[in-house]
Amino acid sequence: MKTETFTSPSPELKQHVQDLHHDANLVVQDVKNQADDDFQEIKTEANTRLQEARGIASSLYDLLKSFTAEYPLSVFAAGLITGVVLAAWRRK
């Protein structure tokens, strides 16, 4: 069996390893920056859509509130009919 003795790495090899380490750190930083940018873009889009949904919900609530104030008997009748239908459906 042949035994080999290892000597200390050459200065060129040390430099290549340092360059590789530096390049790897740059790649990691670029990926992190891109991920941060993408996250901020997604967060902004989500906030925009959430505000739109809140506006729609608020408009719908105001519409229902004004309808129930204007037609309270109709709303009561619709609720009563819905309750009867659900009760009959549940019994089956």
DSSP output for 20-56: HHHHHHHHHHHHHHHHHHHHHHHHHHHHHHHHHHHHH
Check residue 74 and give its pLDDT.
94
Q: How many domains does the chain have?
A: 1
Is 6 among the domain residues? no
Q: What is the band of 12 on the pLDDT scale with cuts at 50, 70, 90?
A: confident
Tell me the residue range of the domain where 58 lies.
29-91
Residue 18 lies in a domain: no
Asked if the structure places residue 3 within a domain, the reply is: no
- Predicted confidence at residue 2, as pLDDT, reads 66
Instruction: State pLDDT tens for residues 19-77.
Output: 999 999 999 999 999 999 999 999 999 999 999 999 999 999 999 999 999 999 999 99
Identify the residue whose tokens are 């941060």. Answer: 36
Does residue 78 lie within any of the structural domains?
Answer: yes
Q: What is the pLDDT of residues 63-88, one digit of tens each?
A: 999 999 999 999 999 999 999 999 99
CB neighbour class for 75 (10 Å; exposed up to 12, middle 13-18, buried from 19): middle
Q: Does residue 11 lie within any of the structural domains? A: no
pLDDT at position 1 over 70: no
